[in-house]
Amino acid sequence: MKEGITMEIFQYSFMVRAFAAGIASALVTSSIGVFVVLRRMSMVGDSLSHASLAGVAAGMFFGFYPFYGAVAFSVLAALLVEMVRVTFKRYAEVALAVVMSASMGAAVVMISLGRSFNADLFSYLFGSLMAVTEEDIKLIIILGIFVMAALYLLRRQLFSIAFDEETARLSGIPVNTVNVLFSILTALTVAISVRIVGTLLVSALIVIPAAVSLQLARSFNSAIFISNMVAAFSVITGLYLSFYFDLAPGGTIVLIASAVLFVVLLVKRRYSYRGV
C-alpha cells in the first residue's frame, strides 16, 4: 500500500520536478541557514525575499522570465544591504528595513500596474507544485552547486567572522569581501527557493532547520548535517502532503519544519527539568 502510494506520486512529471527542486533547495537553504543564524542575520532572508518578489513582479511586468528577475533583484538587494550596513555600522538593522521597504514598495507598484498577472504571481508568493519547469530545475541545480561550492571554500572564513568579526579582521581575513560574497550567496539561495516555498516563506526554510540543528548539534559539521536532514524531511513530507491533500506546498513545508523545532524544544525542556 505504502509502496503504491510512493510510486503513484512519481508518475507525474511535475511532481518529479517538484521533488528535485525541493530537495536541492532544502540542502542549499539549510546549509547557508546555519551561517545566517550564527551571524544573527535571521531577518536577512525576509529582506531578500521581498526583493525577489519585486524581481518576479518586474519579470512579469516587463516580459522576461520572472525567475531571472528574482535572482537579479535578490543579488542587487544583497549588495544594497551590505552597502547600507557598512554605512550605518552601529545600526545594521537599518539596512534590512530600508531594502525590505523599498523592495516591497517596488513590488506593490508593479503588481498594481499589471493586474492581469496576479494569478501567476500567486504561485511565486506561496510556492507551487505544478509551476516548476525544466528551466527552473536547471537554474536551481546550477546555482545550488555554485552556492554549496562557495560555502565549502569560504567555510573557515565565515565561521571565524560569525563568532568574532574583529578578530577575523585582525587575523588577515578580508571581512568586507567575504561579507559581500556571503550576501550574494544568501540572495541566490533565496531566489532558487522561491519556486517551491514562495517568496513569503523562504526565510523560514533558511532559519528553522538551522535553529533545530543548533539545539542538537555538538559540532559545526553536525549542525550542517542536522540542518540538511530537517530541511529535506520537511520538504519531502510537505510535498507529499501538498499533493494528496491539495495544500499550498510552501506553507505545508514551513509548518512541518516548525513542528520539528517545537518537538525538539519540548523534548529538551523536559529532559532539562529531569536533570538529564
Please report, as a single letter, which amino acid is at residue 193. S
Give me the helix-helix angle, 93-113 and 44-62, nearest 10°: 20
pLDDT score for 6: 59
Residues 6+ apart with CB under 8 A from 117: 60, 61
pLDDT score for 123: 79
According to CATH, the superfamily of the domain at 2-273 is ABC transporter involved in vitamin B12 uptake, BtuC (1.10.3470.10)
pLDDT score for 1: 42
pLDDT score for 143: 93
Instruction: Measure CA 56 to chain center.
Output: 16
Which residues in 230-246 are b (16+ Cβ under 10 Å) and which e?
Answer: bbbbbbbbbbbbbbeee
Q: What is the pLDDT of residues 137-161, one digit of tens each?
A: 999 999 999 999 999 999 999 989 8
pLDDT score for 269: 81
Angle at 178 between CA 172 and CA 181, to 5 degrees: 160
What distance separates the 2 farthest-apart alpha carbons in the chain? Answer: 61
Per-residue pLDDT of the chain (276 residues; tens, 9 = 90+): 455 555 678 888 988 999 999 999 999 999 999 999 988 887 888 888 889 989 988 988 888 888 899 999 999 999 988 887 777 766 667 777 788 888 889 888 887 876 655 557 777 887 887 778 888 899 999 999 999 999 999 999 998 988 888 888 888 999 989 999 999 999 999 998 888 888 878 889 999 999 999 999 989 899 999 999 999 999 999 999 999 898 888 899 999 999 999 999 999 887 765 655
pLDDT score for 274: 61
pLDDT score for 55: 92
pLDDT score for 90: 67
pLDDT score for 146: 96
